[in-house]
Amino acid sequence: MDATRLTLLLQARGGEPQAWNELDRLYRPFIRGWYRAQGVPPNDADDLTQEVLATLSLELPEFVHSGRTGAFRTWLRAACLHRLLGHRRGECQRGRPVGGSDFQERLQEFEAAASNDWDREHDRAVLRHLFSRIAVEFEPATLEAFEQLVIEERPVAAVASALKMTAGAVYVAKSRVLRRLREEATRFIGDDLA
């Protein structure tokens, strides 16, 4: 899942509360989780997440989508990274150790690694969001098999054993949920990328 639905962004840009609510449900846990993965304490992660979302609300009306897949995700990553760097500078000014003489070199390595992590976590966040939209359509065992196999990336034998299912039943559950997720993703993104 490489894209945020363009119409969702346009609706939010137009001030539609439902679109803002959906953006918040999709991105707040993702952004907070990313900050936590970068070692930011929980309260600071909440504050930084709120800053990014506030910036989004101010800057989205001026955001021009390039039409390239991942344009919004890239903009959001830059906004999050900018706040993280500001947070780290603030820690340094308050006397907390944040780096040594090789700080700039380590920062460049971090940015390169963070880009890959960001993309992977973004895709997982969108998947979780879509998954929550279709979950009511499936039996609990089907959902659990899918979650363990696809989201948690557990081996099929371990999932089958834990859920007292055959490996074939786990694969069938995965297939059914994936098919429905693809349908929902198509609907979520729509023709925006065409």
Query: Tell me, what CATH number does 149's domain have?
Result: 1.10.10
Provide the 3-class DSSP secondary structure of residue 64.
coil
Residue 30: how many other CB atoms lie within 10 Å: 21
- Sequence-ordered list of residues with C-beta below 8 angstroms from that of 5, at least 6 positions apart, any chain: 188, 189, 190, 192
My answer on whether 78 and 103 are in the same domain is yes
Q: What per-residue confidence (pLDDT) applies to 166?
A: 95
Of 107, 136, 165, the one marking the end of a domain is 136
pTM over 0.85: no
My answer on whether 89 and 162 are in the same domain is no
Residue 93: how many other CB atoms lie within 10 Å: 9
Q: What per-residue confidence (pLDDT) applies to 19?
A: 82
My answer on whether 154 and 121 are in the same domain is no
My answer on whether 167 and 82 are in the same domain is no
Tokens of 113: 């690694």
Q: What per-residue confidence (pLDDT) applies to 124?
A: 77
Residue 72: how many other CB atoms lie within 10 Å: 23
Q: Which domain holds residue 160?
A: 138-194
> What average pLDDT does range 85-110 have in this prediction?
64
My answer on whether 146 and 129 are in the same domain is no
How many structural domains is the chain composed of? Answer: 2
My answer on whether 99 and 144 are in the same domain is no
